[in-house]
């Protein structure tokens, strides 16, 4: 099949492209290589994909550019679209809320519309555990009410989920919305905590720890997230929302301890106050994904952090 992967040069997107290619599909990656973090990270990801010598094409483009998207959809008959492109991160969204709405919400409308006009019947769209906000019961279930996001980023992802439902309702597109839970592993974005902490620790610099270290996350290793995404490509749902997490929580202080063990380096802790927009807990109820997708995460955090550290040390944290 022909797949378009928006955000295909990024952390999750590059792994998706690689997996689809290894499964025998043809892949087009669409990415604007913006400077949210050093573009050389994405360029390295692209080189690794291109080294596979499989049917892959990179298209430089911005999802807010409707004309550019229409041109892409007019040039290739795509069987499915995996829409991962977005402005990511809770804290940066506080500084640039309008940018997050423009890219994440308007950009998603552009992708949905371009796909509809081109006759694409199936899309898989990235959402986020952040849509649950701070007051949800745990573990978080897809059936929980999600009306109280606490950051512009979370609000933008909740809007994307609503838009996906609209395009399914109006145009009968098959749409799966995937709520990712703190994905980590090789190629991880350098702004995310595990990568950032590893880089600072290896440089002998303090790591910023917000709060008392009790905030907990449902860390999900990249290969488990990939299994959930790929399972969606093989099934039809109409419209569904799925949690893709590990369904295990790891407090921040424990994450730091395990990262210290994996890197063989002691962390210097720089205590800082809790940040606006941060939630105290993410914890996925994955019973729906287990039942409907056959989703069974296989990499516990203590194993996954070692796999990440091995990759990080081989690359020495460099983008080149």
Active site residues: 153
What is the spatial distance between Cα 83 and Cα 6, in angstroms, rounded to a whole number?
5
Which helix (H) or strand (E) segment holds residue 193: the answer is helix 193-202
Count of alpha carbons within 13 Å of 12, Cβ hemisphere only? 31
What is the spatial distance between Cα 30 and Cα 61, in angstroms, rounded to a whole number?
6
Q: 3-state DSSP call for residue 53?
A: coil
Nearest C-alpha neighbor of 13 from the set 2, 23, 33, 1: 33
What is the spatial distance between Cα 258 and Cα 267, in angstroms, rounded to a whole number?
11
Please report, in angstroms and rounded to a whole number, the separation of the first and last CA atoms in the chain.
32
- Residue 6 β-bridge partners: 30, 83
Q: Does residue 139 have a cis peptide bond before it, meaning omega lies within 30 degrees of 0? A: yes
């Amino acid at each position: 099949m022909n797949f378009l992967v928006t955000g295909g040069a990024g952390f999750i997107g590059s792994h998706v492209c690689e997996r689809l290619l290894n499964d025998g599909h043809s892949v087009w990656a669409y990415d604007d290589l913006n400077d949210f973090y050093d573009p050389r990270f994405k360029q390295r990801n692209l080189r690794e994909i291109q080294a596979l010598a499989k049917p892959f094409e990179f298209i430089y483009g911005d999802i807010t550019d409707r004309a550019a998207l229409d041109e892409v959809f007019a040039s290739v008959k795509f069987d499915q679209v995996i829409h991962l492109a977005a402005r990511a991160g809770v804290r940066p969204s506080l500084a640039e809320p309008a940018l997050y709405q423009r890219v994440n919400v308007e950009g998603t409308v552009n992708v949905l519309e371009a796909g509809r006009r081109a006759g694409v019947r199936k899309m898989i769209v990235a959402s986020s555990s952040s849509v649950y906000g701070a007051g949800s019961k745990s573990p978080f279930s897809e059936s929980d009410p999600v009306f109280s996001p606490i950051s512009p980023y979370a609000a933008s992802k909740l809007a994307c989920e609503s838009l996906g439902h609209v395009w399914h309702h109006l145009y009968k597109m098959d749409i799966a919305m995937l709520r990712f839970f703190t994905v980590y592993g090789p190629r991880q974005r350098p702004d995310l905590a595990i990568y950032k902490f590893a880089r600072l620790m290896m440089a002998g610099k303090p790591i910023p720890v917000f709060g008392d270290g009790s905030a907990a996350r449902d860390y999900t290793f990249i290969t488990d997230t990939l299994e959930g995404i790929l399972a969606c490509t093989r099934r039809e749902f109409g419209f569904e929302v799925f949690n893709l997490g590990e369904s295990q929580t790891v407090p921040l202080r424990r994450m730091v301890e395990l990262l210290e063990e994996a890197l063989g380096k002691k962390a210097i802790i720089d205590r800082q106050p809790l940040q606006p927009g941060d939630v105290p807990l993410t914890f996925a109820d994955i019973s729906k994904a287990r039942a409907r997708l056959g989703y069974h995460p296989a990499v516990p955090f203590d194993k996954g952090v070692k796999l990440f550290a091995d990759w990080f040390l081989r690359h020495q944290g460099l983008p080149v």
